[in-house]
Structure 1
Amino acid sequence: MTAARRLRIVVIAPLRFPIRRPHAGGLESAVWGEVAALRRRGHDVTFIAPTGSDFLDEDGPFRLPPLDWPAGAVPTDRTWPDSYHTRNAPALGRALDEIAADPSRYDVISNHCLHPLPLQRAASLGVPMVTTLHTPVDHDFVTAHRAAAGAGSAFLSVSDHTRREWAAAGVRSRLLPNGVDPATWQAGPGGGGIVWFGRIVPEKAPHIAVAVARRLGMPLTLAGRIGDAAYAEQAVLPEIGGDIRYAGELSPDELASLVGRSSLALATPAWAEPFGLVAPEALLCGTPVVGFAVGGVPEVAAGTVGMELVTAGDVDAMATSARGLLRRGEEPGYRAAVRESAVRRFSLDARIASLEAVLGELAAGAVDETALTA
């Protein structure tokens, strides 16, 4: 697509959290960044997202209800209230009805929703759709895609690891890694302690960061939303005190400032992370990263200055690698090289330019969706 072409794009958000700052997680951050960047570049973006999200222009079928947890229930990032099925999914269906009622108003759909309904409806919407695969294989997605005979859908994957996983399940996709906005994640001076940031949930394993910091004898700041209260109360919050600090949930600007003032960031996923957005975010601040070699994380580290990986769960190896990166981070020009490398590989503008090309091809009918699917 040429830079001058203006597209009418529908972006479908995940249903769990409003898409606003501070972001509930990496997925929400990625979707927020996509909508903001597409609008900056002159595209007409219609957003389907939960109430409370940014970019929702008016009341109507595209403003979806928030999750409604029953009294006494403890919300988690892994479970859903019954209302998700009786209230939220039907509201998504009505939003899709609105598109199908007059598809001539739209050129293309960028789908990030983790509910299978858009895939089930893809063939009948009258608008080509590309779905970004942010997660491990979801069998409800695969079933929905097969039920639609693959019609109307193309796919992008955030990492080659994710692409290969989904391909094995019969869903083929193009690789398009996540991007980070250098204007938000600005270069910082370093010189402080260690930082860990992300959702406070078992699969992110911040308790391992605490163990590493204690091995190193350095202060650690944890930052992020508590997504699993039971885990936080059992494994993380009792460790807070002294050199271990919990900064809570921060805005992107506040978080970037904290990361930029830190000497090192730790990434401790206890699952096969499909991408791992925290590493590029830290690297754009010039802050080196030690992480676990799982999922798509090695792809982030490959060819990147300032990121080293160790075997998942190996606290001693992470501490050893951290010592080396801490020394290197004190070398003149090192943090600038870390940022330069990250900007080159993970700039949001570069990602959006590639996404524009895909959306433009789909809108023009220049891509046979079946060539991207199985």
Structure 2
Amino acid sequence: MRIAQIAPLYEAVPPKLYGGTERVVHALVEELVRRGHEVTLFATADSRTSARLVPMAEGGLRLLGTKDPWALHVAMLEEVYAQADRFDVIHSHVDYLTFPFARHSPTPTVTTLHGRLDLPETRRVLARFPEQRLVSISETQRLPLADLPLRWQATVYNGIRLEHFPFRAEPDDPPYLVFLGRISPEKGPVQAIEIARRAGIPLKIAAKIDPADREWAEANFLPLLGTPGIEYLGEVNEQQKAELLGGALALLFPINWPEPFGLVMIESMACGTPVVAFPGGSVDEIVVDGVTGLICRSHTIDEMVAALKRIEQLDRAACRRHVERYFSSRVMAERYEAVYRQVLAESLTEQLGPAIAGLDGRLTTRDLIGRDGRHLLLTARALRNGKTQQAPDEKGQASLDWYDDGRHLGDGHVTERHDVAALNEQDIDRNRPAAD
């Protein structure tokens, strides 16, 4: 499959330091290439990838201090859609910026929404583009928009490259806690410091401070760095992060906002380090309470401190197994392949009309690609090139000239129209008693 991946330009792919979305894009792109797809990545010039790279900025705009990042993103999207006929599917990771371009392109676009969706401005934009194909990164992420008639294709959990996060069967001795990510009020760094102080366990903080949060951090966070046992490391790279997480007794995640996903939780569990978190957003979808972490539902520091007394009872190997099963780059790529197949099938249905629909008036992926997985890509490409023909069959009904050259779609796996949802639900139960 020929797939365009559009990455945000704020960080390189993968990021040199902080960066969640770009790290997910890197894991997805590398796995898709490994699985035999022809991937083109639109990203910064200093990105490292096995895909064909189309550089759209000198480097990560955040570290460069770019004054107008929106301008470069618009220029990138213009370039993507100028090349649209080279791709079977365009996958955007820049949220709603893609929508006006995608609306007028014959090449289907699917957009993964990586941010929070409870803001009124975001709601207003999404409501104006109900035809856009969307993917959420957690079920709870999309709840604020449940009343809007949006075109959700699936929920696909973020995945990581497991080889970048080695498993540690035992934490460091003496023990320490870790807080990792971003210094902002909704992430709870002040609460993390108080939790560590009361628990009597050292805390290592590896996090960035955005300009928007600088004033808050100077007033509320930085003055606490003199607290005994508190060490602020600033931003760290991926190798440093893996070492930091792997050696920790627990990851503190005292959030106060609807976290869309929380990549650091799966990074921590991959290393074997359990998560101690307040509930909110995706936490209950990612952490198995009592197995891969402890969820403190009272939202109190006292409960967090009490939870830390029980944290060593958790099996660090169970944390790793949980990530291997649900949050690896392989699992993520498989689910996105299913999304791409569904998007291609729906796009063909819309463009070709009811003449080739099934008896029930609905065209499934199986109708389009056949049992051996052929035809779909070639039909889509031929259609865009004006080469696909419809001719009466022996019963006088329209049929397609498929232009079959024997190529297969992905790994040849055949899915029905609704298999994407099934794939994401299989073996996944929010009330699952254990990770195995």
Do both proteins adopt the same fold according to a TM-score greater than 0.5, normalized to the shorter chain? yes
- In structure 2, the gaps of 5 or more residues are 351-361, 363-416, 419-436
How many residues align structurally? 344
TM-fit CA distance, 1:93: 4.0
Contact 1:67 1:88 (C-alpha < 8 Å) held by counterparts = no
Counterpart of 1:91? Answer: 75
Contact 1:107 1:127 (C-alpha < 8 Å) held by counterparts = yes
- Percent identity at matched positions? 31
Counterpart of 2:196? Answer: 213
Is residue 163 from structure 1 mapped to residue 157 from structure 2 by the alignment? no
Deviating more after overlay: 256-265 vs 15-24: 15-24
Is residue 123 from structure 1 mapped to residue 116 from structure 2 by the alignment? no
Counterpart residue identity of residue 324, structure 1: R
- In structure 1, the gaps of 5 or more residues are 1-6
Instruction: Specify whether residues 57 and 262 from structure 1 end up closer, same or farther in structure 2 by C-alpha distance, changes over 3 A only.
Output: same
Counterpart of 1:244? Answer: 230
Instruction: Specify whether residues 15 and 203 from structure 1 end up closer, same or farther in structure 2 by C-alpha distance, changes over 3 A only.
Output: farther
* SS of corresponding position for 2:133: strand
Instruction: Specify whether residues 120 and 313 from structure 1 end up closer, same or farther in structure 2 by C-alpha distance, changes over 3 A only.
Output: same
Aligned partners of 1:368, 1:316: CA distance in 2, in Å?
56
Counterpart of 1:3? Answer: none
Q: Deviations over 1:96-131 (max 9, x none)?
A: 4423xxx331010111103x3311221212211111
Contact 1:195 1:266 (C-alpha < 8 Å) held by counterparts = yes
* SS of corresponding position for 1:21: coil
Counterpart residue identity of residue 106, structure 2: G
Aligned partners of 1:177, 1:321: CA distance in 2, in Å?
27
What is the aligned counterpart of 1:253 among 239, 252, 271? 239
Deviating more after overlay: 205-214 vs 245-254: 245-254
Counterpart of 2:37? Answer: 43
* SS of corresponding position for 1:336: helix
Counterpart of 2:91? Answer: 110
Aligned partners of 1:131, 1:118: CA distance in 2, in Å?
8
Q: Deviations over 1:317-344 (max 9, x none)?
A: 1111121113x15xxxx21222122322
Aligned partners of 1:90, 1:279: CA distance in 2, in Å?
32
Contact 2:130 2:150 (C-alpha < 8 Å) held by counterparts = no
Q: Deviations over 1:156-179 (max 9, x none)?
A: 111111132233333242211111
What is the aligned counterpart of 2:179 among 171, 175, 196? 196
What is the aligned counterpart of 1:292 among 278, 281, 286? 278
Deviating more after overlay: 89-98 vs 29-38: 89-98
Counterpart residue identity of residue 220, structure 2: A
Counterpart of 1:4? Answer: none
Q: Deviations over 1:227-283 (max 9, x none)?
A: 232233222233224411112222212211111111111112121101111111111
Instruction: Specify whether residues 68 and 165 from structure 1 end up closer, same or farther in structure 2 by C-alpha distance, changes over 3 A only.
Output: closer
Aligned partners of 1:284, 1:171: CA distance in 2, in Å?
33
RMSD in angstroms over aligned alpha carbons?
Answer: 3.0
Q: Deviations over 1:41-76 (max 9, x none)?
A: 22222122244433485666x458864899xxxx7x
Q: Quick check: which has more Rg, 1 or 2?
A: 2
Contact 2:188 2:255 (C-alpha < 8 Å) held by counterparts = yes
Contact 2:11 2:62 (C-alpha < 8 Å) held by counterparts = no
TM-fit CA distance, 1:367: 7.8
- In the TM superposition, 1:21-36 aligns within 5 A as 21-36=15-30
TM-fit CA distance, 1:32: 2.1
Counterpart residue identity of residue 249, structure 2: S
TM-fit CA distance, 1:148: 4.8
TM-score, scaled relative to structure 1: 0.82
* SS of corresponding position for 2:262: coil
TM-score, scaled relative to structure 2: 0.71
